[in-house]
A and B are shown apart, each in its own frame.
Chain A
Amino acid sequence: MKKLQIIGLLVFVLGFLIFSYIPFLGTYQLEKEMVEQKVKPEHTDAMVRILKPMFGRQYGSNFEFITDFNELFKEYNYDLKVREEWDQVIWDDYAFMLTKSASQGDVRETPLLFLGGSILIAVIGAMIYILPLYKDEPEGIKNNGIYFSSMKSRGVLGIITGAYLILFYVILYWFPEYMTNLVLMLDPVSQAISGNEASQWFLYGFIYTLAILVMGIRMFRKYKGNAYQTLRTGSVMFFQLAFAFLLPEILVLLNMPWHDFKNIWPLDYSFFYEYRIDGMVSSGALGMFMLVWGIILIVLGVPVLTYFYGKRWYCSWVCGCGGLAETLGDPYRQLSDKSLKAWKIERYMIHGVLVFAVVMTLVTIVNYFMEFGLLGQATDQLHSIYGFAIGSAFAGVIGTGFYPFMGNRVWCRFGCPLAAYLGLVQRFKSRFRITTNGGQCISCGNCSTYCEMGIDVRWYAQRGQNIVRSSCVGCGICSAVCPRGVLKLENGEEEGRINEMPIIIGNKSVSVKP
């Protein structure tokens, strides 16, 4: 490794460590005005009363502050619950926004300095490392040493990375009040784009997009000379930046609901939730367009495009989860489980989640038209179970946190209900397949090893069969790593898409007559 690249790595790690340390900075002091400003009007009096003991008191760390806050808040709710005064209970979670308001110190004073000193430095370091990658090497497959790498083959570095990602997601989803400083330093950026202060979701979207962009550039380096990989990576980078990050924030600036036009139900599981429908319906023509466009994607976009191109049009060219998997997750693609057993589990799980999402949505819609009668309770329960178990724990914590353990497509493979839907179309009514080139397979196993979806590609290729599998996201890496030019992703006639070749081409001794 060149000296410059080592420096780049060190700079990256430095930025990363500073980023991880920022939440521990500063002091916290809550004032009455903050509560009045942040809390819903109906809760203002109660919250002011509850939090009174904290006003004007300076806390040395967010841990002390949050501990006190939680104690007071829980005590209040607990009493009400005991007395079964359910309508008085405050269900809203104010911990994050009040901790953020109460945060004082350098991060609040100079947020951009901290943003520059952490995330920006990490990005610069990463670029110094990535740009010279494979600089003097001819175009070709760059998989040397992957299985000797601690980071890429479940070594100590991989385990540390996975643990960090899991911790990050747990804090993000369930304890965001502990990362308020990180959100604080993004306030100016958020203000500039949408005019609002940043939430933890803005922080997440910001880092997520940066990860796709930076690691996307790594993909350009790694697969230079492979036009399919270059275009595909460019596509996910574009859709993430424009459709998932910028456009929704601009909509907010225009007083529209936050909306990602490329997200599709049932991955976008809350699309039919009451607040989303109401938000769209009450936002004029553009809002109606969101609703109609969303439905068109579900009933027409998915089947038609998948018929012509396979599910890759979405999963490895457009989708945000796919985008992260194909860029940040690329170094881990070889860690997916290729066993038959894993495939069996996969089919139960992913279709189970699809059924869950469909049932939940049906209940939601029926409930909507019944104007929240009988099914109100059930809807809320389903939403909270799905949101917790699937939306957060599965898609986030496991989906990304498990990259270094089970490969970069754990969510897409085992959990994503949209992938299940796309997969059903791809398996049963599509022109897409991976064509096997006659008898040229030498069973080396590169294709199976580097399949992020855990498809045992070789199983088919060595029999001369085309690969038609619902889970294939069409990333094209099997074709890239094949040393004998055996695999080609294609859209073609449906006839002959699934083929048998009992005697492989090239042998005329034996023929099988129908």
Chain B
Amino acid sequence: MSKTGRKIVIIGNGISGITCARNIRKSDDQAEILVISGETEHFFSRTALMYIYMGHMKYEHTKPYEDWFWEKNRIGLLKAWIEVVDFDNKKILCHNGNSIAYDILVLATGSAPNKFGWEGQDLQGVQGLYSIQDLEEMEENTQNIHKAVIVGGGLIGVEMAEMLSSRKIPVTFLVREKNFWDNVLPLEEAELINRHIREHHIDLRLETELKVILGDKDKRVKGVMTSEGDVIDCQFVGLTVGVSPHITFVKDTKLATNRGILIDEYFRTNIPEVYAIGDCAEFKEVPSSDRKNIEQVWYTGRMHGETLAHNLTSGKPQPYKPGIWFNSAKFFDIEYQTYGWVPPVWDSKLGSFYWEDKGGKICLRFIYDNSNKKIMGVNAFGFRLRHDFFDKAISEGWLLDKVISNLDRANFNTEFYKPHHKAVLEQYNKEKGTKLQFTKVPFFKRLIGSRT
């Protein structure tokens, strides 16, 4: 692959596109790199949007790199929306009429909030939350309002609830499922989060769906009607029922798409020299059995970018091979981390060990293979766990006994945090009839804070 003079154009400056650009530059000094985004000029952390609304940070704080970084690393930035991609002539047409030629095109266009055709979904005051423009709109839409309704019990929904409650706006939260996010979380965890959401005075209504959004004569939202037939007066409706690949501008072109842009394990689309990564990409075949065709997570976007950059700059392209799954979130005050595979429900092939703190806000769940007692995955709420520990334990197939008796080393909680791992071990011994112990650490080693 000739490295000189190539022009690599990346559409989308989110974590996928930017990671790709940075990693290309790390190993290719020659390529011309241009990142185009209509959303913002500079890369910012999408996950931090909520903190801008809550007054924890300003937009500038969400930029992971200072503005000089891009010029120094010769990564060109262009703020523009793309109208059309002319794949035959390798050209992009921007909304302002400019046309940009490319040798290699990387599509990293992210997602857009779902709307399921509800009556009233286009009223003023009804919106999703994904982009910085959405945030600006939300800022406007929530000025001087008395009540908000959020529809959809996922990660963005609970973030939005936290955002609104930080401004003391009462929130009713409609969740279709039996418990919050229970298509991902096992029952106990989902119930734990239910309780915590309610502790924050959110009116959480489970097994309740949105029926109609009601508007006034100025086409502003004035309320919603639920599947129960209840009418809730409100001046804002947050639609947080998931996101879909943002691919409108390449629909009906020769680029093969399904829900997202179809790619193989090398991120190649059906058109040579055109690649897709991140939220907008759809694997024709799942990367591994526990993964989905569309991966819409910060971490997977980063890995897509890393891997594609490697493939574009080295002579030896590698297929995308994600390792042990991991993810994290925060539900109001409760942090969530997960490693490996923890399904919401399981059959007798799998076993589970669950520990919950008396206060009902901290818990751990271990899922293991019943046939050989090897750990498969772990969920942690309000309990920080070491990533490298579980990456190792799960990929090496440690016995759950071994994991539990090393839990002190897996603990990533702040110093002086209550040593919950002791309670976990105690309960485990009681339930399983084992006599596991942590390795004794001599006093001096504890004094100087040694880990091993």
Contacts and interface: CB of A to CB of B under 8 A. Distances in A.
20 contacts: A138-B333, A138-B361, A145-B54, A227-B415, A309-B448, A437-B387, A438-B386, A439-B387, A440-B299, A440-B326, A444-B48, A444-B57, A446-B56, A462-B64, A484-B337, A490-B415, A491-B449, A493-B452, A504-B306, A506-B325
A227 B416 contact: yes
- Going nearest first, the 4 A-B pairs with the smallest beta carbon separation are A438-B387, A140-B333, A491-B449, A485-B384
Contacts of A508: 321-323
A105 interface: no
Contact of B56 (A309, A449, A480, A492): A449
Contacts, number: 178
A509 B384 contact: no
A139 interface: yes
Interface in A136-160: 138-141, 143-149
Contacts of A507: 303, 306-307, 321-323
B274 to A, nearest CB: 20
B391 A438 contact: yes
Given A144-B55, A437-B384, A440-B328, A449 B333 contact: no
A504 B391 CA distance: 12
Contacts of B146: none
A446 B451 CA distance: 27
A340 to B, nearest CB: 6
Interface in B305-322: 306-307, 310, 318-322
Interface string A473-489: 00010011101110011
A226 B8 CA distance: 47
Contact of A485 (B319, B337, B361, B416): B337
Given A438-B388, A504-B302, A493 B450 contact: yes
A82 interface: no
A505 B339 CA distance: 12
Interface in B323-345: 323-326, 328-330, 332-333, 335, 337
Nearest to B325: A506
B62 interface: yes
A4 interface: no
Interface of A: 138-141, 143-149, 226-228, 231, 308-309, 339-340, 431, 435, 437-440, 442-446, 448-449, 458-459, 462, 476, 479-481, 483-485, 488-493, 503-510
Contacts of A476: 414-415
Contacts of B319: 509
Contact of B412 (A148, A448, A480, A485): A485
B166 interface: yes
A462 B64 CA distance: 9
Contact of B328 (A445, A484, A504): A484
A242 to B, nearest CB: 21
Which interface residue of A231, A444, A505 has the most chain B CB atoms within 10 A? A444
A148 B415 CA distance: 32
B309 to A, nearest CB: 9
Contacts of A505: 323, 387-388, 391
A492 B328 contact: no
Nearest to A464: B387
A491 B387 contact: no
Nearest to B297: A442
A503 B57 contact: no
A309 B448 CA distance: 7
B334 to A, nearest CB: 8
B322 A506 contact: yes
A509 B45 CA distance: 24
B449 A431 contact: yes
A490 B451 contact: yes
A426 to B, nearest CB: 15
B284 interface: no
B66 interface: yes
Contact of A440 (B66, B196, B387): B387
B252 interface: no
Given A140-B333, A143-B54, A228-B415, A340 B66 contact: yes
B194 to A, nearest CB: 14
A476 B323 CA distance: 31
B161 interface: no
B415 A308 contact: no
B200 interface: yes
Instruction: Point out which of A141, A442, A479, A493 has the most chain B C-beta atoms below 10 A from its C-beta.
Output: A442
Given A148-B55, A449-B57, A485-B337, 4 more contacts: A340-B66, A445-B62, A445-B64, A480-B414
A503 B388 CA distance: 13
B332 A140 contact: yes
A443 B391 contact: no
B61 interface: yes
